[in-house]
Structures are given as structure tokens and as C-alpha cells.
Structure 1
């Protein structure tokens, strides 16, 4: 509580009678009790025998999202594997040819935590001998009813590839209308893309990419798993 009053003065230094005082009380300090929104379902890409990259749609918050916690389902007690500040996390140290399930929780500066995201489950590749590749899926542009996507293919093996094949399944009925720098087939939700003559040979560590245009209605979710195989 505070009480204030006012006195007027003139140039000769005369002061008035004090005003009637006013008393008021400042508000209590505001406490943020609203948690961030639920993160989007993680997408696993660039899957190898020992790692993968998770990406998800960012959460929103009345004040601001301060970070995310990434968890691996592990029976009775799930394991926190990282706390990135952006909606992406690189997983390392995984076991080859093994299924994993991960989910994400957002948090704000006040310590509020969101509802856990829908989990994503994927299987690491079998140990690669010589060849091997990863594929990273991204939406580069989107508009009502349509979008443009790009997939980057990288040779993660120790010898040059002679070709590659990328596969994924669309979650919401999207349909590819055109694709460049690759040849594709789509059966229902399942998409298969193979290299063309000039981009199938990749030296170890080298990358190439292909792009596509597609249509969507209602929701434009990203595939939960994008795989790449190479001879």
C-alpha cells in the first residue's frame, strides 16, 4: 500500500495546502501458470545404424518457450536424452537394427511443462558395410492446398554409391504432383524415390537432393520415418 498527496508552488516560493491524499495498493506479482502448447509429433530422418535426427513442430507459449526435453521410452522409467532450445535434436549412440520410441515435452521460463508429444517409433539401420545413406525430409514452402518439399540424400558409407532409394509414407493423404532430380512412384500413402542417371553416384560424405510439389487437404503432417538405402 502507498499514500501520496500533492502541493502546488508558485515562482515566489509560496506553497499551497496539501491535496487530499490518495491511497492504493499495487498488484501482486504475476505468476505464469500456463504451460506451452503440445509439441508436434517428432519426425525421424537421417536414420543410420547408430543415430537419427528428430524434428517437430514448435510449441507456443504466452510468454515464450525456453526449450524442449527429448525422452526415450524405456519401460517403467523413460530416459531424458537431451534438452535442445530449438525443435530439432540429433540422436547418437543408438544400437544398429533396433527399434526406438521418442517423445518431446516443451517447457517455459516459469517451469511449466507441456503435454508430451505423440511419440515416434523408428528402427535404426543394420550395420552398414561399405555403402549406406541417409535422407532428410523438409518442407521448403507451403500454401493452402499445396506445398513444396525437398529431400537431401547423403552417402554415409565408406565407398561410393551406385544408386539410392528413398522411402516414406505420407500421414495425411498428400499426393505428389511433380518431382525433379529423381523418379518416383506413389501407392496410396507410400512413396518411393530412386535416383536418376546423373545423381546416383555419391562419394563417401557427398550429398545430393531432389524436390517435389504435392497437394494436401486439411492437414499437412510430415512423414514419421524417411529411409534411404544404397548398394
Structure 2
């Protein structure tokens, strides 16, 4: 299925926005945030420090009377410079974000957006990595695709098993804190993936410019499901 057809398929998979957080939170409480290299406000901040980044995000939420911040798809970020995980063996720097981040408190429940089974799960413990991660597989009209949930709590992996069915709207995980989530302010990394390419419990959530075209095709903007910008 071509990229355009797949995006149209996802848009038509539900007549209403789908949610990975409490569905009672209205769109007006989701505050868009720019964490890209183009945000001049970040040039004066040391966002490699969790407390600094957390304060910046929370201030943006408070200024707009929100409950959480979101954004980041196809966003070039400097924050990944702090970790060798994104620049291994002198390779081209990976700094372009491939999912949507939802910045909200640790222990926040995560909900399944569509009927699914558990594809795989893993604790990705590299500095700056996802930490506890769950990947769900969805099948709609014989079309299969996957959604990835990164930066979860350790408890999220305790009672889960491959092949376990999870119903739409069912809570299945909670967010982790800084000590387990790769050393970030608490947030959910939510990503759609057409082809997992053999990965289990992990998939690149950040890429380099050279591979960007492939990854944008394989990982369409989660906004096609969330529809937060309506």
C-alpha cells in the first residue's frame, strides 16, 4: 500500500479522533509545543538537563491553561546530542523525531486506540532511549500496522505477553518517570509503523536526514489518528 493510500486508510479507520490518553481530556487542553532547533527560546536553555526541559514544557502548558503538551513529528531536535545512542560509531547524526510526544505526568494511564494484540515489548535501557516499550499490532480489513508506546513504567511490562488481545479504549500501560524512561521528563512517545522490519519491542523513533524519506513513509504522522489539531 502506498504512503498516500495508507494515510487515507488510517484517516478512514475511525469516524472520530482516537485517543491514547484519557478520552475525557478535550483537544483544548492539549498544548502544541515546539522543541525543534528552530525554537529560539531553547537556544538559551540547557535542555540536556531534565529539570530545565521539564520546567520549559510545564511553563508552556501553564501559560495556555492546558493539561499536557504535545508535538514533535518530523521535528529536528538538539536534545539527542547528549547521547551516543543517536550517533553511534560516528554515523550520521540521528536527530529527526518520528512520532508524537505527549508530555504529561508519570503514572498517567495509556489507552489502546484501536483493537490490537501485543506484538512485542522490551526495556530499552540505553541512555536517551525509550526505556520500557510496548508495540501493538492492529488489523483492520486485513491491513496490518503497528503502534509503538515508549517511555513507559517498568510495571507496564509486568503482566503483558505477546499475542495478548487489548480492546479499543482499554488501559494497558502507564508512563514512567525519569529514572526508567531514558532520562527525560515524563511523556509518551507514540508512533505508527507500517513495517517493523523485524524489530521486536523497539523501532527507531529518531532518524537522520539521509533516511528521512523512508521513515516518513513507514511512520506516518500519528495526527491522522489523534486529530488533535481539528
The answer to whether the superposition gives a TM-score over 0.5 is no
Q: Report the TM-score range of the alignment, normalised by the length of the smaller protein.
A: under 0.3
TM-score by length of 1: 0.26
Pick the structure with more strand per residue.
1
Pick the structure with more helix per residue.
2
TM-score by length of 2: 0.26
Larger Rg: 1
Give the number of the structure with larger relative contact order, counting CA–CA contacts within 8 Å between residues 6 or more apart.
2
